[in-house]
Amino acid sequence: MNRKKLFVALLMAAVAISACKKTSEPIDESEPIVAEDIASFKETASIDLGGETSAEISAYDPSTKKLFVVSNEGGAKVEVLDLTNYPTVTKAKTLSYPSNAGINSVAVNNGLLAIALDGADKQGNGDVVVLKTSDLSEVKKITVGAMPDMVTFSPDGNYILSANEGEPNDDYTIDPIGTVSIINVKSNYSVKTLDFAGFESQKAALVAGGFRIYGPKASFAQDIEPEYITVSSDSKKAYVTLQENNGVAEVDIVSGTITKINPLGTRDISLAENAFDVSDKDNKIALGTWPIKAFYLPDAISYFTTGGTSYLALANEGDTRAWKGYDEEARVKSLKLDPAKFPTAASLQLDANLGRLTVSKAFGDTDGDGDYDELYATGGRSLSILNASTGALVANIGKDLEQRVIDAGKYDDERSDNKGVEVEGVTVAEVNGRTLAFIGLERVDMIAVYDVTNPASAKFVQLFATGDAPEGVLFVKPKDSPNGRSLLVVASEGDGTVKFFQPNRI
């Protein structure tokens, strides 16, 4: 062995030993650590798929080096991209589903592609279509619940799960139940679709913990709206965000049961560590404290393990029920505030203060007298990290996240009265022995990277620009990527671009 090869071998060994100490976990020899600089992600390739809604969620198949991208431009489609000659990325094929009202998600495992499609009617049952990634031939089409918003495989490939959101129609006259479908791949794709009716008896306790049940004339099961799924590394449990409801459900995949719902509570914006910028009309960008609370309302969720403990990372985007038949949104200045709880109401309701902030008028009149005793903003503007076993909040990356964007000169003050940077997506992965959270910020068109190897003391790593309104955030391990380096794929729905980011080798 020459000196250069010996030096590289010693460096790799040192990195591996260091990683073991930092994560308290053994190194998997089948996946050796690639020495990479975690703070050096930069764009290495890009492709424009044609404009707004033409790039939303993506999934990668390492065996064929194909990337599958959800597109709703001109109908429900999957764009098939060829990464064989990366960094050259080319469009190889388009899969179209004209009979379906929309397409929401894709996932890949072991040579199979799963596609989540709305039915012909969005409020009717949807479909999960399974194809072979090799020749794109159809293997199976499975009927699932209404509006399958996200589809994923269990890590062992034995199950496909879909979060069926069951949103109402615009008039709010039809409101399907929200469900979770479990498809058993090994049992000829048999499906079991679970609903939440069994939790009706727990409604009072859940609401007391900050869970939201409030749709007009909706049963408990109808009111639940599953959004996104992540699966434990042993493929036994799934965790599902219930975005509009402000909670996370736990699912036992093997038994096919929903075991519990964890209400997420609220962030107290009167505390310095939770400061918000609440006005787009104050001629400044400044994070401050206010007498309000904020529902987290998470979108994406990612499961990860570090230091022998499992966690959930939640992208607290915020979302409301804003339909023609029912709209919960209101500006603070339009509400009647309780004079005892808000003695400075006249000042608070100025546009330069809280007046412009979007809040939920469905919550806050605690004594039922027609005025508001509390104010609830619609979105956590943060990334929360929960203990996966207990549901306890371990960390909340919010103020620091928005301040980093402000310091970079990228904060959009026009969004201060709504969702701030709008934390839309998250994926957590290991790079160079460190556990990194890649956080998609929809309203500032950026990815924020935090080191969450020690989740209780997350550390900022990097901030970089993406396309317009990043939606899908996908990480590809070095052993699976087309060029042997860590690869972050970001699909942006605002401009239809898919951008690829990689760190420098060290």
pLDDT, one tens digit per residue, over 380-424 is 999 999 999 999 999 999 999 999 999 999 999 999 999 999 999
pLDDT per residue as tens digits for the range 86-101: 999 999 999 999 999 9
The H or E element spanning position 57 is none
CB-side exposure of 77: number of CA atoms within 13 Å?
A: 17
Burial per residue of 480-499, b for 16 or more beta-carbon CB atoms within 10 angstroms, e otherwise: bbbeebbbbbbbbbbbbbbb
| pLDDT score, position 31 | 73
| pLDDT score, position 302 | 98
Rg, Å, the chain Cα set: 23
381 and 402 in contact (C-beta within 8 Å)?
A: yes
pLDDT per residue as tens digits for the range 428-480: 999 999 999 999 999 999 999 999 999 999 999 999 999 999 999 999 999 99
| pLDDT score, position 24 | 34
Query: What does the pLDDT average to over 158-165?
Result: 98
Hey, how many other C-beta atoms are within 10 angstroms of the C-beta on 200?
Answer: 12
Of 15-24, 189-198, 268-277, the one with minimum mean pLDDT is 15-24
* Beta-carbon contacts of residue 481 (< 8 Å; ≥ 6 apart): 62, 86, 487
143 has pLDDT over 80: yes
| pLDDT score, position 20 | 39
pLDDT per residue as tens digits for the range 483-501: 999 999 999 999 999 999 9
Of the candidates 440, 462, 467, 464, the residue with the CA atom closest to the CA atom of residue 451: 462
pLDDT per residue as tens digits for the range 350-391: 999 999 999 999 999 999 999 999 999 999 999 999 999 999
Of the candidates 480, 488, 483, 417, the residue with the CA atom closest to the CA atom of residue 446: 488
Mean pLDDT of the chain, nearest integer: 94
The sheet that has 301-306: what strands, in order across it?
Answer: 301-306, 309-316, 382-387, 393-397
Tokens of 318: 């915020």
pTM for this entry: 0.94
pLDDT per residue as tens digits for the range 314-325: 999 999 999 999
| pLDDT score, position 11 | 43
Q: For residues 470 and 456, give the distance between their C-alpha atoms in angstroms, rounded to a whole number.
A: 26
With a pLDDT cut of 90, the percent of the chain lying above it is 93
Q: For residues 421 and 381, give the distance between their C-alpha atoms in angstroms, rounded to a whole number.
A: 7
Confidence category of residue 8, pLDDT binned at 50, 70, 90: very low
Q: Given the structure tokens 């975005």, which residue do they identify? A: 243
29 has pLDDT over 90: no
Query: What does the pLDDT average to over 207-226?
Result: 98
| pLDDT score, position 10 | 41
Q: For residues 250 and 483, give the distance between their C-alpha atoms in angstroms, rounded to a whole number.
A: 37
